[in-house]
Amino acid sequence: MKNEIILITGASGCVGQYLAHWLIENSSSELLLWVRDPKKITSINLENPRIRVLVGDLRQTNKFEKEISQVNRVIHTATAWGDPKRAKEVNIDAVKNLLNLLNPSNIKQIIYFSTASVLDRNLNLLPESFSYGTEYIQTKAQCLQELESHKLSKKIIAVFPTLVFGGRLDGKSKFPTSYLTEGLKDALKWIWLARWIKLFSRFHFIHAADIAFICGHLATSDFEHSQPVSGTKIRKFVLGQPNTSINEVIQTLLRWEGMRKVPQIPLSNWLIELLIILLPIQITNWDRFSLRQKHFIHEPVTSPETFGGISYAKTLSQVLHNSGLTKH
């Protein structure tokens, strides 16, 4: 029986490399890794006969028309933000072009990476993501909306990572370091001040190794799952651990640093608005919406335990230990 061919876009990124490594270690699939710079791939041996690297921009889909027509599964992690024009070209146009080049008789599954920011608590699209969102949020929301009517929509599984940790800060990991893990160093610099503030916002996080387990499971099985969101063709999975609060995060960081607790001042919405007025803080419409929404929680959320696995980092304490962060 011929091995399946899995195309991974954005394969040099943090999540992309964890995914490629998991599939090499846990499957017999052949991998097509679509990257702009193969030198950034540090987690796997590119000389492996099961790997073929496609070097090019995602907007150059016709460059790999033959290869794309042969794939059986796609894991689309590539994305763009910052420049509105490029965000539209990569996050919307290139996705549709990629799907149109797939051979319907060959393709079994498309795992499409979005962001949990575009969903409400019940996994429905947030109307505010279109009106207030950044170019990244808006293009992700628009793409998801358009994919619902695509001819391959029933083969699409949309995954929505929450806040993503990954890699290490001490240079001892072969995987790239995620932006959130990099931010841990700055978080510790300000913990002396943050410990005086009590915030009520709740959110989810997940480690890239756990994303790889979940998506690897989906990509190596003929998984069927009842759709929890009515009126949609695309199956949706928000990837995250049980929700935690910013206040709990502050307490965890204080224990990590060996700093004592202090009386906390509740930071209410009116006080935040006052600080924005008094201090030279520039915020977007999406920032204001996020401050009003306060909680970023979803139901249900998916972790490795959903599929009988064990999370690499289920708690923030485990995230800190796995990040190579210096402990005081």
Q: Residue 270: is its pLDDT beyond 90?
A: no
Q: Which two tokens stand for residue 311?
A: 């999370």
Q: Which residues make Cβ contacts (< 8 Å) with residue 227, sequence separation at least 6?
A: 233, 235, 236
The band of 268, judged by pLDDT with boundaries at 50, 70 and 90, is low
The pLDDT assigned to 277 comes to 58
Burial of 261 (0-12, 13-18, 19+ CB in 10 A): exposed
In the predicted model, what is the mean pLDDT of residues 266-281?
60
191-223 tens-digit pLDDT: 888 888 887 789 999 999 999 999 999 999 875
| CA 26 remoteness from chain centre | 21
Q: Is 55 helix (H, G, I), strand (E, B) or coil?
A: strand
Q: Residue 99: is its pLDDT beyond 50?
A: yes
In the predicted model, what is the mean pLDDT of residues 302-310?
96
CA atoms lying within 13 Å on the CB side of residue 219:
34
DSSP string for residues in 284-320 = -HHHHHHHHH--B--SS-B-GGGGT---S--SHHHHH
The pLDDT assigned to 140 comes to 97
pTM of the model: 0.92
14-57 tens-digit pLDDT: 999 999 999 999 999 999 999 999 999 999 999 999 999 999 99
Percent of the chain past pLDDT 70, that is, above it, reads 91
The band of 292, judged by pLDDT with boundaries at 50, 70 and 90, is confident
118-155 tens-digit pLDDT: 999 999 999 999 999 999 999 999 999 999 999 999 99
The pLDDT assigned to 121 comes to 93
The pLDDT assigned to 37 comes to 93
Query: Which candidate, 79, 174, 172, places its Cα nearest to that of 134?
Result: 79
Neighbours of 80 (CB within 10 A): 20
The pLDDT assigned to 326 comes to 83
